[in-house]
């Protein structure tokens, strides 16, 4: 059973080298296609290729396409299996279909700049094959109720169609959660790298348990993902010579959702997403426009000191809804948000810091150099 894992490890190492070399090789193609951006937090503005997640994603797909027959080799060579395990094969192909579709739609989003409602639709569509495969392979929508609720709901609860809604939402959540904890060099690829490392560790620990096959399945995806993302991270680390693009966030989110769902450990996986969840909760008021939300919420560079400080959302005091007013009062009292009122000559404006985890960390530790800030954010991920 460990022979396929060894093959996976070796091909993933090759994938790491391939990603490392391909990213610079295609730089010109991306810039001529105008898939590039400017680093807002650097003094010198250079055009940097975007959407490099498409390269690491393509390498990932190739590795896995070639890997497809490997877990089943024993069935062909030695006739060691009574009946070909079609259901496991289906799981593998179905998972790849969801991930491939997601990379495609993510790249289309990067190129065409689709609207926000599309960012919720696309992962849902890409997860359809996953749901169908789950339906035909397991069809199990019963969960074990956590102890505190057992008196109320019994030991098992059949969620029925809600289970599928949960799975669909998982993909949407993972992709967008990674996408909004962003803005400083290396944080998107870095956080994904750490989450996948955590999942790999978890899988390895569980290899001696009852659900060995589920965790081996997860490793087949996580190992190539880790190494291709490592190649991407090398170029994305401070100072970034490439940006990963929404493509990468979609790709990473869907891959995590896939292994969580088909490996049956989605709750554990969500635990590895704690920083993303915290960032999401903190961001809610701006995501729902209760508090005004500007186009970019990343920290701002102070050219004099070369350090990043919090970024603020500035708006007219009377434009703020009652709910927003209330929220900000409470948050300021709890010292989680910094609010300044009475700005500009007419005292009409107020501002609050943009509600991202990165800004919150800056609030606690003060202006910081970008590289240090990213390291701190990644350490939070490790914790």
Q: Which parts of this chain interact with its own copies (CB under 8 A)?
A: 26, 29-30, 32-35, 54, 58, 61-62, 65-66, 68-69, 72, 76, 84, 86-87, 89-90, 93-94, 96-97, 100-101, 103-105, 107-108, 111-114, 125, 128-129, 132-133, 135-136, 139
Nearer of residues 124 and 372 to its own copies, judged by Cβ: 124
Nearer of residues 60 and 173 to its own copies, judged by Cβ: 60
Closest CB 112 distance from its own copies, rounded Å:
4
Closest CB 169 distance from its own copies, rounded Å:
17
Nearer of residues 105 and 177 to its own copies, judged by Cβ: 105
Contact 227, 283 (CB under 8 A): no
- What dihedral do alpha carbons 287, 291, 294, 300 form, nearest 10°? -100
Q: What is the DSSP-derived secondary structure letter of residue 83?
A: S
Distances (CA, A) of 250 to 102, 105, 256, 278, 294: 6, 8, 10, 19, 22
In the three-class reduction of DSSP (H, G, I as helix; E, B as strand; rest coil), residue 343 is classed as strand
Nearer of residues 111 and 332 to its own copies, judged by Cβ: 111
Nearer of residues 103 and 327 to its own copies, judged by Cβ: 103
Listed residue (2, 68, 12, 8) closest to 208, CA to CA? 2
In the three-class reduction of DSSP (H, G, I as helix; E, B as strand; rest coil), residue 47 is classed as strand
Closest CB 13 distance from its own copies, rounded Å:
20
Closest CB 66 distance from its own copies, rounded Å:
7
Closest CB 44 distance from its own copies, rounded Å:
25
Closest CB 29 distance from its own copies, rounded Å:
4
Phi then psi dihedrals of residue 356, to 5 deg? -120, 155
Beta strand 312-316 pairing with 307-309: unpaired
Rg (C-alpha) for the chain, rounded Å, is 22
Nearer of residues 139 and 154 to its own copies, judged by Cβ: 139
311 token code pair: 């970024």
Closest CB 14 distance from its own copies, rounded Å:
15
Residues near 116 by Cβ (< 8 Å), separated by ≥ 6? none
Nearer of residues 108 and 277 to its own copies, judged by Cβ: 108
Closest CB 272 distance from its own copies, rounded Å:
28
Other C-beta atoms within 10 Å of 51: how many?
24
Nearer of residues 101 and 320 to its own copies, judged by Cβ: 101
Closest CB 225 distance from its own copies, rounded Å:
17
Closest CB 279 distance from its own copies, rounded Å:
29
Distances (CA, A) of 91 to 135, 170, 292: 11, 18, 43
Beta strands in 171-311 (DSSP E): 300-302, 307-309
Beta strands in the chain (DSSP E): 36-38, 47-49, 142-144, 156-158, 300-302, 307-309, 312-316, 339-343, 349-353
Residue 168 exposed, middle or buried by CB count within 10 Å (0-12, 13-18, 19+): buried
Q: Which residues of 238-251 are buried (b: 16+ CB within 10 A; e: fewer)?
A: bebbbbbbbbbbbb
Distances (CA, A) of 41 to 214, 347, 369: 43, 29, 11
Nearer of residues 94 and 253 to its own copies, judged by Cβ: 94
Nearer of residues 164 and 349 to its own copies, judged by Cβ: 164
């Amino acid at each position: 059973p460990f022979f396929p894992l060894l093959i996976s490890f070796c091909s993933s190492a090759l994938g790491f080298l391939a990603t490392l070399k391909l990213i610079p090789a295609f730089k010109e193609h991306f810039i001529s296609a105008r898939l590039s951006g400017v680093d807002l937090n650097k003094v010198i503005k250079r055009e940097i290729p975007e959407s490099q997640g498409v390269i690491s994603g393509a390498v990932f797909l190739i590795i896995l396409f070639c890997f497809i027959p490997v877990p089943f080799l024993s069935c062909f060579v030695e006739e060691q299996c009574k009946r070909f395990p079609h259901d496991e094969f289906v799981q593998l192909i179905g998972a790849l279909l969801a991930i491939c579709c997601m990379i495609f739609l993510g790249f289309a989003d990067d190129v065409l700049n689709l609207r926000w409602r599309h960012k919720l639709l696309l992962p849902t569509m890409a997860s359809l094959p996953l749901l169908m495969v789950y339906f035909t392979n397991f069809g199990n929508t019963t969960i074990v109720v956590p102890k505190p609720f057992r008196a109320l709901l019994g030991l098992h609860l059949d969620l029925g169609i809600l289970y599928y809604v949960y799975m669909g939402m998982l993909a949407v959540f993972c992709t967008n959660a990674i996408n909004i904890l962003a803005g400083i060099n290396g944080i998107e690829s870095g956080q994904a790298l750490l989450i996948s490392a955590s999942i790999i560790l978890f899988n390895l620990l569980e290899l001696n348990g009852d659900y060995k096959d589920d965790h081996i399945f997860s490793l087949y995806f996580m190992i190539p993902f880790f190494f291709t993302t490592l190649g991407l991270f090398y170029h994305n680390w401070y100072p970034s010579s490439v940006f990963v693009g929404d493509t990468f966030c979609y790709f990473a989110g869907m891959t995590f959702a896939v292994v969580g769902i088909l490996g049956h450990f989605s709750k554990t996986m969500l635990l590895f997403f704690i920083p993303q969840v915290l960032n999401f909760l903190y961001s809610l008021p701006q995501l729902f426009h209760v508090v005004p939300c500007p186009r970019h919420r990343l920290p701002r560079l102070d050219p004099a000191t070369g350090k990043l400080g919090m970024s603020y959302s500035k708006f007219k005091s009377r434009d703020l809804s009652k709910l927003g007013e209330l929220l900000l009062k409470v948050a300021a009292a709890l010292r989680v948000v910094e609010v300044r009122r009475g700005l500009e000559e007419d005292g009409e404006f107020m501002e609050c810091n943009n509600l991202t985890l990165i800004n919150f960390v800056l609030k606690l530790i003060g202006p910081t150099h970008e590289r240090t800030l990213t390291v701190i954010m990644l350490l939070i991920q490790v914790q």
